[in-house]
Amino acid sequence: MDDVGAKKRRPGGRSAQVRARVQAAVIELLADSRLEEVTIPRVAERAGVHQATLYRRWGNIAGLVDDIVAERVGELAPIPDTGTLRGDLELAAVRFAEVIAPLGGIMIRAAALATPDADSSVTFHTRATQLQAMLDRAAARGEKAPTLTELLEGITAPLYFHELFFGRPADAEHARTLVDRLLIYVEASR
């Protein structure tokens, strides 16, 4: 996997078009069906692509979802340095909320579909490393910073949880509320 998004041959070639239509179909189905109703034949039909193509290229639904998630998570990869911990956290939280929102809970479902083996999630590990770097920057500036665990549990977990249990994504305002909460705690506990 060198150039997942654009593909090797051509940006607008047939393969790329198939991929785009298939990804859209998966997201639509994931958004308004129960998980077990999201099948290769149904994705193929909605995308107007032959079943055999999907089986050959992605193998199964999990493969399809992995492909989509890897691409989306890649979009929020570089966490900008705003100069303050609060700025960094708010940006990261809001962007994360925005990315998972339109995916309508597929992030969490993707996690569910993936191999039980947690370490295999390269995507997650990469993300964690980036967040840790953000915290290190804050610490270097002398700010009181939470631990990575506190960050994941205080912000990421609630954002996931929101979608899963309330059936709707958290909005940007709520994301900022979570940051606020975390910082109040950090301030009080150090």
Dihedral (CA of 42, 45, 47, 49) sign: positive
Q: Does 190 bind DNA (CB under 7 A)?
A: no
CB 47 within 8 A of CB 24: yes
Among 24, 53, 70, 124, binds a copy of itself (CB under 8 A): 124
Among the residue ranges 32-40, 75-83, 103-111, 170-178, the one whose residues contact DNA (CB under 7 A): 32-40
Alpha helix locations (H) across 33-156? 40-47, 51-58, 61-75, 85-100, 106-113, 122-140, 148-151
CB 106 within 8 A of CB 61: no
Stretch 46-65 residues interacting with DNA (CB under 7 A) = 48-53, 55-57, 59-60
Among 47, 87, 113, 129, binds a copy of itself (CB under 8 A): 113
Among the residue ranges 15-23, 70-78, 87-95, 178-186, the one whose residues contact DNA (CB under 7 A): 15-23
φ and ψ of 11, to 5 deg: -60, -40
Site string (17-46) toward a copy of itself, x via CB under 8 A? --------------xxxxxx----------
Nearest to 61 by CA among 77, 43, 75, 49: 43
Which tokens in the block code for residue 94?
């809001």
- Name the site residues for a copy of itself (rule: CB under 8 A): 31-36, 60-62, 105, 108-109, 111-113, 115-119, 121, 124, 150, 152-154, 156-158, 160-167, 178, 181, 184-185, 187-189
